[in-house]
Amino acid sequence: MRPAPPLSIGARATAELLERYGLRPDKRLGQHFLIDPNQVDRIVRLAGVQAGDHVVEVGPGLGALTAGLVDAGAIVVAVEIDEGLVRVIEGEFDIPQVSVVHADALEVDWSTAAPAEHSWAMVANLPYNVATPLVLDVLDEVPQVTSMLVMVQREVAERLVAAPGSSNYGVPSVKVAFWATGELVAKIPPSVFLPPPRVESALVRLDRHATPRFDEPVDQVFTLVRAAFSQRRKMLRKSLGGLVTPDVFEAAGVDPQARPEQIGVEAWVALSQARRDARS
Ligand code: SAM
């Protein structure tokens, strides 16, 4: 394998690269480029990337993280929505270890971009506006992605990994707990990006359970979870009134007077199972 081309990523080099390709950061696409090589090393290390691993990177941008992944020996599929940045990655990474897919990561056909014959790690500095739906969709629909190390807005990170009882606990936290274990592994200041975002960022690591913990259909479970959290201050007997009868609460062993933020994933699954049993 050929080594990654040397890519310097300081503030000046980043500005020069943008100028050379006639580009400007597009804030609507969450374009905040990493300019600190130490953070790139840290992300690659926390992701545990080993030589020969298959990695999907959403939003390679100017390639700062892509270069770190290639240096670690990864085979990288980079999914980028911005045509100008696709040109940069194709121009700067004309090596067999990197392939670029010009697509919206929320729409891409993952069976083609990251075929299930391998297991994949997703390692990415995610655009803020798509981070939550993307992570949750990948958990639901792309089982070959077995781990994720993603940079997201700090509040999003806290919601993804929150435990019951926390004010951050909500639909994303239950979805993560359904499929994986999650941990906020580092907080990242705005100063490591160009341009700096207005918010703090954080790195989250998600490890998918090797075999799914629950065989309850995920859509049935989340019909209940979403209904309850849409009225998060109400007791479950109110918010789930049209969906769950008192008998079902009892069969599931769930207190109908509880509020959704008090209920762990096992209890959500038990409610869903008891509801289906009652209907069959
Ligand atoms: N990885 C680069 C880095 O760390 O310097 C850039 C990260 S920047 C925060 C987010 C990147 O995601 C940008 O390159 C942006 O164009 C891209 N992007 C935004 N929305 C996207 C989408 N829906 N699908 C794929 N890429 C997207």
Answer yes or no: is the C-beta of 153 below 6 A from any ligand 1 atom.
no
Residue 3 has pLDDT above 60, yes or no: no
Answer yes or no: is the C-beta of 25 below 6 A from any ligand 1 atom.
no
3-class DSSP state of 189: coil
Are 181 and 256 in the same domain?
no
State the amino acid at position 75 in one-letter form: I
- 37-50 per-position pLDDT tens digit: 999 999 999 999 99
**C-alpha 33 – ligand 1 centre gap (Å):** 9
**C-alpha 157 – ligand 1 centre gap (Å):** 17
Tokens for 119, please give them: 């297991």
| pLDDT band with cut points at 50, 70 and 90 for residue 9 | confident
Answer yes or no: is the C-beta of 39 below 6 A from any ligand 1 atom.
no
Pairing assessment for the beta strands 201-208 and 54-58 based on DSSP bridges: unpaired
How high is the pLDDT of residue 267?
98
Are 65 and 187 in the same domain?
yes
Residues of the chain with pLDDT > 70, as a percent, come to 97
The per-residue pLDDT of the chain, averaged, comes to 96
**C-alpha 113 – ligand 1 centre gap (Å):** 16
**C-alpha 60 – ligand 1 centre gap (Å):** 6
Are 60 and 186 in the same domain?
yes
d(CA 94, CA 5): 9
Query: Is 39 a domain residue?
Result: yes
Are 69 and 107 in the same domain?
yes
Q: What angle do CA 135, 131, 140 make, to 5 degrees?
A: 20
Residue 5 has pLDDT above 70, yes or no: no
Are 28 and 114 in the same domain?
yes
Residues of the chain with pLDDT > 90, as a percent, come to 94
Are 129 and 255 in the same domain?
no
Are 48 and 98 in the same domain?
yes
Are 200 and 235 in the same domain?
no
Ligand 1: residue of 28, 55, 82, 129 to mutate (most ligand atoms within 8 A of CB) is 82
Domain with 155, as residue range(s), is 11-208
Residue 246 has pLDDT above 70, yes or no: yes
Query: Is 33 a domain residue?
Result: yes
Are 260 and 164 in the same domain?
no
Question: Which class for 268: exposed (0-12), middle (13-18), buried (19 or more C-beta within 10 A)?
Answer: buried
Query: Is 171 a domain residue?
Result: yes
Residue 107 belongs to a domain with what CATH number? 3.40.50.150
Number of domains in the chain: 2
Residue 90 has pLDDT above 60, yes or no: yes
How high is the pLDDT of residue 10?
87
Residue 116 has pLDDT above 80, yes or no: yes
Are 40 and 128 in the same domain?
yes
Residue 236 has pLDDT above 80, yes or no: yes
Question: Which of 208, 242, 271 is the C-terminal boundary of a domain?
Answer: 208
Residue 274 belongs to a domain with what CATH number? 1.10.8.100
Are 243 and 171 in the same domain?
no
How high is the pLDDT of residue 178?
98
Query: Is 1 a domain residue?
Result: no
CB 90 within 8 A of CB 100: yes
Answer yes or no: is the C-beta of 128 below 6 A from any ligand 1 atom.
no
Answer yes or no: is the C-beta of 104 below 6 A from any ligand 1 atom.
yes
- 124-170 per-position pLDDT tens digit: 999 989 999 999 999 999 999 999 999 999 999 999 999 999 999 99
Residue 98 has pLDDT above 90, yes or no: yes
Query: Is 213 a domain residue?
Result: no
The residues pairing with 193 across neighbouring beta strands, listed in sequence order, are 34
Query: Is 6 a domain residue?
Result: no
**C-alpha 67 – ligand 1 centre gap (Å):** 15
Are 150 and 238 in the same domain?
no
Question: Which of 208, 236, 259 is the C-terminal boundary of a domain?
Answer: 208
Question: Which of 173, 188, 208 is the C-terminal boundary of a domain?
Answer: 208
| pLDDT band with cut points at 50, 70 and 90 for residue 2 | low
What are the φ and ψ backbone dihedral angles of 120, each rounded to 5 degrees? Answer: -125, 145
Return the biggest CA–CA distance within the chain.
67
